[in-house]
């Protein structure tokens, strides 16, 4: 029962409620304003740490060329050290499509680790595709001092491209089979940079002579094409394992005087088309491969040839795209200072074997 003599005034209740609302507004308005200000100030900064990986990130191709050259050389040091120490620890890692055993050595793995770590440290926003696996949990600190070789500085101007347009292809040890047989002249380490699927930077390093060929499309290079070739006795360089497949068709196509040069390693074969300062380098006019081949085997050579005005295509003349799957199904034909289209028209039968 309500106490006698006390009556609740409607006007008083209204005033009391208004005072209460005023107190609540005073308390919470400052808080809400602060939270709004914090939100507005924080939103642009939220992407700060991730900004280098975003669509606005850019990489300088001249710097990427410089670090690619260093990576190839450092990988080559491991390749040479393992071979000279005779600690290859070679084992089969599988079979090729032709049924041959693919070899894996300590040289492949150690070279791959050094090359990948350096490139990742220098350009963390760039996609890197490598022949061998690197355990990211076992990463060690690697740094690059951003130095650029003088010959690169003189020939190449800085050029920035979006990071997401770049794919780097690494072959830490090309010609592993020949490496196990101690056929050192065929062995290379290679780095290729593709922009929107097109190869624009190629580095081919020979570990045992420490010779490095490099080139950048619309930039410069330290190699050049050979000025002439003999049309009457063309020299066709092919894989050692495929020489028999190519020889008969090549002689029918180019004539009985055609010279077939069996060799190991895609990098070595591309260098054979160029004028290089290497005493152990054979010379050829055309490079033909008639079966499936991985893109890290051929990307660097493709970039070098493009930079010098040459061509590397499938056997049907299609440009090879360096995004997506890591394999090239269409075989390849490479040439420089020749009518590439005419060469392709002479090879209608080879494409049939390229998918085997």
Q: Which residues are catalytic?
A: 108, 176
Nearest CA to 131 out of 172, 97, 96 is that of 172
Does 173 belong to an annotated binding site?
yes
Report d(CA 138, CA 156) in Å as an integer.
Answer: 35
Ligand-binding annotation for 102, yes or no, is: no
Give dist(CA 206, CA 185) in Å, integer: 8
Task: Answer yes or no: are the C-beta atoms of 299 and 199 closer than 8 Å.
Answer: yes
**27: burial class by Cβ within 10 Å (0-12, 13-18, 19+)?**
exposed
Residue 182 annotated as part of some ligand binding site: no
274 beta partners? 225
**What b/e sequence results for 75-111 when a residue is b if at least 16 CB atoms lie within 10 Å of its CB, and e otherwise?**
bbebbbebbeeeebebeeeeeeeeeeeebbbbbbbbb
What gap in Å lies between CA 204 and CA 301, rounded to an integer? 7
Cβ-based neighbour number of residue 28 at 10 Å: 10
- Helix or strand holding residue 192 (H, E): strand 188-195
131 labeled part of a ligand binding site: yes
For residue 208, what are the contacts with CB-CB under 8 A and spacing of at least 6?
A: 80, 83, 184, 185, 187
What is the three-state SS of 46-94? CCCCCHHHCCCCEEEHHHHHHHHHHHHHHHHHHHHHHHHCCCCCCEEEE
Rounded Cα distance, 283 and 280, in Å: 10
Ligand-binding annotation for 171, yes or no, is yes
Three-state DSSP class for residue 195: strand
Bridge-partner residues for 162, per DSSP?
58
Strands 274-275 and 259-263: unpaired
Three-class SS of residue 199? strand
- Distance from CA of residue 15 to its chain's centroid? 76
Specify binding-site residues for Mg(2+). Answer: 131, 171, 173-174, 297
Specify binding-site residues. Answer: 131, 171, 173-174, 297
């Amino acid at each position: 029962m309500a106490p006698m003599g006390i009556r609740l005034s409607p006007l008083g209740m209204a005033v009391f409620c208004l005072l209460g609302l005023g107190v609540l507004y005073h308390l919470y308005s400052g808080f809400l304003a602060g939270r709004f200000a914090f939100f507005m100030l924080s939103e642009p900064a939220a992407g700060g740490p991730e900004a280098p990986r975003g669509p606005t990130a850019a990489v300088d191709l001249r710097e990427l060329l410089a670090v690619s050259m260093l990576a190839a050389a450092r990988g080559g040091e491991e390749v040479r050290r393992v071979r000279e120490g005779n600690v290859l620890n070679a084992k089969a890692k599988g079979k090729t499509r032709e049924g041959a055993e693919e070899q894996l050595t300590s040289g492949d793995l150690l070279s791959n680790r050094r090359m990948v770590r350096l490139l990742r440290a220098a350009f963390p926003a760039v996609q890197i595709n490598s022949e061998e696996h690197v355990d990211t949990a076992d990463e060690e600190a690697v740094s690059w001092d951003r130095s650029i070789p003088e010959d690169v500085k003189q020939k190449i101007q800085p050029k920035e491209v979006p990071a997401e347009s770049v794919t780097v292809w690494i072959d830490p040890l090309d010609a592993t089979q020949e490496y196990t047989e101690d056929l050192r002249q065929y062995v290379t380490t290679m780095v290729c940079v593709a922009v929107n699927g097109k190869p624009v930077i190629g580095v081919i390093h020979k570990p045992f002579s420490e010779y490095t060929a490099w080139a950048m499309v619309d930039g410069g290079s330290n190699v050049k094409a050979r000025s002439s070739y003999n049309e009457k006795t063309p020299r066709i360089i092919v894989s050692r394992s495929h020489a028999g497949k190519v020889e008969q068709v090549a002689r029918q196509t180019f004539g009985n005087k055609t010279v077939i040069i069996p060799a190991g390693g895609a990098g070595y074969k591309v260098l054979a088309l160029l004028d290089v300062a290497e005493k152990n380098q054979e010379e050829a006019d055309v490079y033909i491969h008639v079966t499936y081949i991985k893109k890290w085997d051929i990307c660097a050579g493709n970039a070098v040839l493009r930079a010098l005005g040459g061509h590397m295509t499938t056997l049907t003349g299609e440009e090879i795209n360096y995004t997506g799957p890591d394999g090239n199904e269409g075989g390849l034909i490479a040439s420089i200072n020749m009518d590439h289209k005419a060469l392709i028209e002479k090879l209608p039968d080879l494409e049939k074997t390229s998918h085997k």
